[in-house]
Amino acid sequence: MEKPGNKFGIHRVISPVGSLPQNCDKLDNNMDILYDNEILIDVQSLNIDSASFHQIKESCNADEEKMKARMMEIVATQGKHRNPVTGSGGMLLGTVERIGSKLQGKIDLNVGDKIATLVSLSLTPLRIDEILKINMDIDRVDIKGKAILFESGIYAKIPDDFSEAVALAALDVAGAPAQTAKLVKPGQKVLILGATGKSGMLCAYEARKRVGPTGLILGNARNENRAEYLMKFGFCHKAVIANAQNPAEIYEKTMEATGGEEVDLVINCLNVPDAEMSCILPCKDGGTVYFFSMATSFTKAALGAEGVGKDVSMIIGNGYTKDHAEITLELLRESSALRKLFEDKYT
């Protein structure tokens, strides 16, 4: 008989006792025991959070074997994949292997269903038996292993009209365009940092729809080549070519692009740290900064805004918002250019 489990997965926490799975130092990743409110997943791929993957890749000098060893070490130590430096995880693709008795008949899943988890690997009990391949350009790690989804965990079934790779890539950042849809208003000026990445492209497309004919979408690119790549899709009105870790440069280039006006909304889709002030400086008083990047220091953001006298609302990049998976996949169905971008890069 299966043991009863806590809705939020606290029963899997080893230390410190009483903490939640995301905050804890170590989870029980014994996959031989399934609690009554858990889903056991046979894992195929991990989509590592961009900030986390970038940090691991950089610290290992892009050596695949060293990266494999580092990831195995993280999971062996914590029972989950939470990068000790960035604190972030990612999400996974796998097949439902078992469903706890409490959940059977109460959820829309069956054994054999292919799903992407929409909760972070930083709170997901994970066992890696073997790392098969690291896909350096798309932050994906193919493995043999198992994982647990808690009763409170959210997921998406892989739709029939997308390849697994494309669906995984889009769902990994589903919170960004869905939150953008809620934040952007007609006629606004919007700056997107990291606009050439997958979350940035999705946000740019959604934002351009929302601002209408009187709005302005600015996409940040680090050089001329990236700017040319960005502009060919037509999601941004103008490219802001500047180093996203140089706030003064970002501010100056943004002001040039707007004719001297600060923007209403800044969206941070970067995978590098120290860009907090690059988001805050070009945002007007009463404007909003949306930090989707997991490389963000909210201490730096809060104290930095205070230090330059900026009265801006700052939103933590919650990876979840209602219907975010459906909204994001619909964007790919809606835009042939966006879909081709994802298919070319992730398959």
Residues 93 and 183 in one domain: no
Q: Which long-range contacts (CB under 8 A, 24 or more apart) does 10-14 make?
A: 11/35, 12/79, 12/125, 12/148, 12/150, 14/79
Judgement on whether residues 182 and 152 belong to the same structural domain of the protein: no
Cα gap 57→48, rounded to integer Å: 11
62 and 194 belong to one structural domain: no
Final residue of a structural domain among 131, 158, 185? 158
End-to-end CA distance of the chain: 42
pTM of the model: 0.88
Q: Are residues 109 and 238 in the same domain?
A: no
pLDDT at 223: 95
- The answer to whether residue 44 sits within a structural domain is yes
Q: Is 167 inside any structural domain? A: no
pLDDT of 82 reads 97
Note whether 311 and 246 are same-domain residues.
Answer: yes
Domain count, the chain: 2
Q: Is 180 left (phi over 0), alpha (psi -120 to 50) or beta?
A: alpha
Residue 5 lies in a domain: no
Q: What pLDDT score does 271 carry?
A: 86
106 shares its domain with 145: yes
Within this chain, do residues 302 and 218 fall inside the same structural domain, yes or no? Answer: yes
| Backbone torsions φ then ψ of 296, nearest 5 degrees | -75, 135
Domain end residue (candidates: 116, 131, 158):
158
In a shared domain, residues 68 and 30:
yes
Q: Residue 165 domain-assigned?
A: no
Q: Parallel, antiparallel, or unpaired: how do β-strands 13-15 and 216-221 relate? A: unpaired
Q: Say yes or no: 120 and 183 in one domain.
A: no
pLDDT tens, N- to C-terminus, the chain (347 residues): 789 999 999 999 999 998 999 999 999 999 999 999 999 999 999 999 989 999 999 999 999 999 999 999 999 999 999 999 999 999 999 999 999 999 998 899 999 999 999 999 999 999 999 999 999 999 999 999 999 999 999 999 999 999 999 999 999 899 999 999 999 999 999 999 999 999 999 999 999 999 999 999 999 999 999 999 999 999 999 999 999 999 999 999 999 999 999 999 999 999 889 999 999 999 999 999 999 988 899 999 999 999 999 999 999 988 888 899 999 999 999 999 999 999 998 88
**What pLDDT was estimated at residue 318?**
81
Is residue 143 located within the same domain as residue 195? no
Report yes or no on 163 lying in a domain. no
Q: What is the pLDDT of residue 295?
A: 86
What pLDDT score was predicted for residue 191?
98
pLDDT score of 347: 81
- Domain range spanning residue 37? 10-158
Q: Which of 125, 158, 191 is the last residue of a domain?
A: 158
Q: Is residue 80 part of a domain?
A: yes
Residue 1 belongs to some domain of the structure: no
Kindly state whether residue 253 falls inside one of the protein's structural domains: yes
What's the confidence (pLDDT) of residue 312?
97
Amino acid letter, residue 183: L
| Residues 220 and 101 both lie in one domain | no
The answer to whether residues 185 and 151 belong to one domain is no
Identify the CATH number of the domain in which residue 215 sits: 3.40.50.720
Strand partners for 15:
26
